[in-house]
Amino acid sequence: MPDPLRIAIAGLGTVGAGTLRLLSKHDDLLAARAGRPLTVTAISARDKSKDRGVQLDNLTWFDDPVAMAHEAEADVIVELIGGEDGPAKAVCEAALAAGRHIVTANKALMAVHGSELADAAEQAGAVLNFEAAVAGGIPIVKALREGLAGNEITRVYGILNGTCNYILTKMREERRSFEDVLDEAQRLGYAEAEPSMDVDGIDAGQKLALLASLAFGSRIDFSGVYTEGIRRISLLDIDYAEELGYRIKLLGSARRTEYGLEQRVYPCMVDQRFPIAHVEGAYNAVVAIGDFVGDTMFQGLGAGAGPTASAVVADIIDIARNHRAPTLGISAGSLQSLPAAPIGRHWGAYYVRLMVSDRPGVIADVTAVFRDEAVSIESMIQRARSETEAVPVVLNMHECEEAAMQRALTRIATLDSVVEAPTMIRIESLA
């Protein structure tokens, strides 16, 4: 029997405890698949006395995870602490300095420091695996890095945050406001008490930066991700989307353009003819388009103890098999530094909702602004009439450059007849 692969785990939160449970429950199965036993030898967490529902008695405890990365009898350090800097980063640096392999679920760390850590891992002759950092249990990192390696990837996009997808699904199905569903999501544990990482699109942006690097052979550029969240999405917009044949989804999308690498996260209108429009609840989905394979779609739970632990253990098994793929698909020295394409250069169609005073001349004023900016209206919906309240006017716009659309909306917002800031939602072309 080959020697066991020795594992030390830093961080025993939901994912860390879930990883220990999985390794214990399937020890024989995993040994068969890995070709050797997988043995946890050491652990580190903030509170030694906390009951995590797993057996820890036979494991060496370290109060300091960085010391564990240096000193534990381990071949692999599993970093599940979280955060882009601090102990998480120090653990990974210490592990690589000691020549140990790393498995991490830390999207924030990888989004900010992943290129540098990939450089360090290559210099150390170590493996740095991060499947669990993107889309939970969906094996999208392995798919882009290995399964689709024969293709030039032309685009990668997807639903990368289950919290936002859950909120948008509940709003539509139960006709409830964003604030009401967010409160419920926080009570159920789908959303954090401070939800900005999720609902403002930051979490999805971190994941997209990693997918873009894998897809396009570029250094990770989280600072180049354009990000919007879902706070401004209303039931009124969701209703109009359904009427027009769309679903509103928070999508992350990346592709190369003549202006550089386009990375963007925002709520958008997705045509209901596309499968991703029907991915609901807390599920994630990623579509990768290759020049030979065409469209490939991966769907599953994007977070939680089970799915994330599944991805962590899959990465550990690869190391046990001595399977070494470059962290980001190609050698770290070959990664390109691509310029970020400005959002103003984005070309697409748009949904615009205006709340206006119902009086003569309003539509003429609005259309005059769009005419001046060379933005063309495809269709318009205006039904209600009210003597005292503002009424919605919904416009579907032909494709145009975003900078022109933004200029038009800035001018329209100053019109006396427009009583609140215009709502603009991009209509995403997925064909």
- In the set 89, 107, 170, 207, the catalytic residue is 207
Spatial distance between the Cα atoms of 36 and 273, rounded to a whole number of angstroms: 46
| Amino acid letter for position 5 | L
Contact status, residue 261 vs residue 341, Cβ threshold 8 Å? yes
Instruction: With beta carbons less than 8 A apart as the criterion, state whether 122 and 327 touch.
Output: yes
Phi, psi of 175 (to 5 degrees): 55, 55
**Alpha helix positions (H), 84-221:** 86-97, 107-124, 140-142, 162-174, 178-188, 196-199, 202-216
Structure tokens at 69: 């990365």
Which residues does residue 299 pair with via DSSP β-bridges, in sequence order?
285
Whether 207 is a known active-site residue: answer yes
Distance CA 229, CA 206 (A): 13
Query: Which neighbouring-strand residues pair with 256?
Result: 261
CB atoms within 10 A of CB 116: 15
The 8-class DSSP code of residue 133 comes to G
- What tokens were used for 91? 């653990």
Q: Which residues are catalytic?
A: 207
